[in-house]
């Protein structure tokens, strides 16, 4: 099953579970984000990816340009393990990890604490590399960062997403979900950036670029 199909099923499940007033607030917030065209600030194909070093859940320092010395790199920016759409996407990456790693390294980046990402990996039996980007410093270099509106912060908290606990940061900033393929020349070969967090690139699109 493609990721888009899984995400559609997930959305239908949420529609059936959440109260109408909560759904209305989420829909209005998403409409506001889309109207702001947040993704227009993000790095796109042909841009040079900035170098960075982050710590993984295994307490290993991962450097982008060092990885590029051997293979292209797929980068997935996700909001956090509290986001069911992000988790579903990560599960698809995990299920296709062996296929992707024939031609590329794969890393996922989130602003949440490393310990929480580690817990997610354990619960979902994941072996993917997840890096902790506290305060979204790297996501900001890719032009992906936005601030969650105040009116949404309590709603997120009521749904189990208290960002202060997850991110150890009081800025309430999050990354727009995005997937990049970085070539060994450090140029972005593929970019999928979408402020609609319920939509993601299918892995088949990445494999076409890598092949």
User: Dihedral angle at the C-alpha atoms of 127, 112, 100, 6, nearest 10 degrees?
Assistant: 100
| pLDDT reading at 18 higher than 70 | yes
Rounded to whole angstroms, what are the CA distances from 51 to 10, 111, 131, 192?
35, 17, 14, 19
Residue 82 CB neighbour total at 10 angstroms: 18
% the chain with pLDDT above 70? 100
Banded model confidence at residue 1, pLDDT cuts 50, 70, 90: low
**E strands of the chain, at which residues?**
53-56, 61-63, 73-77, 105-110, 129-132, 145-147, 173-175, 178-182, 188-193
Axis crossing angle, helix 150-158 with helix 20-35, rounded to the nearest 10: 140
Residues 76/93, Cβ–Cβ less than 8 Å: yes
* Cβ contacts of 154 within 8 Å, gap of 6 or more: none
pLDDT in tens, 63-117: 999 999 999 999 999 999 999 999 999 999 999 999 999 999 999 999 999 999 9
| Domain annotation for the chain: domains and CATH numbers | 3-210 (3.40.30.10)
Axis crossing angle, helix 3-17 with helix 84-95, rounded to the nearest 10: 150
- Model confidence pTM above 0.85: yes
Residues 162/80, Cβ–Cβ less than 8 Å: no
Distance CA 42, CA 109 (A): 15
pLDDT at 102: 92
């Amino acid at each position: 099953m493609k990721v888009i199909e899984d995400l559609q099923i997930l959305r239908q499940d949420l529609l059936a579970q959440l109260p109408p007033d909560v759904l209305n607030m989420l829909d209005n917030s998403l409409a506001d984000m889309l109207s702001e065209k947040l993704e227009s600030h993000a790095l796109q194909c042909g841009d040079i990816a900035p170098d960075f070093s982050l710590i993984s859940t295994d307490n290993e320092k991962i450097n982008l340009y060092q990885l590029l010395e051997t293979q292209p790199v797929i980068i997935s920016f996700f909001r956090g393990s509290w986001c069911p759409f992000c988790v579903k996407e990560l599960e698809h990456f995990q299920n296709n990890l062996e296929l992707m790693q024939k031609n590329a390294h794969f890393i996922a980046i989130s602003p949440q604490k490393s310990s929480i990402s580690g817990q997610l990996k354990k619960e979902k039996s994941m072996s993917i590399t997840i890096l902790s980007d506290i305060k979204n410093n790297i996501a900001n270099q890719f032009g992906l960062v936005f601030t969650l509106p105040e009116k949404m912060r309590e709603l997120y908290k009521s749904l189990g997403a208290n960002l202060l606990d997850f991110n150890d940061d009081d800025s309430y900033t999050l990354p727009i979900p995005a997937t990049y393929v970085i070539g060994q020349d450090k140029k972005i070969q593929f970019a999928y950036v979408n402020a609609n967090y319920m939509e993601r690139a299918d892995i088949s699109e990445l494999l076409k670029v890598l092949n």
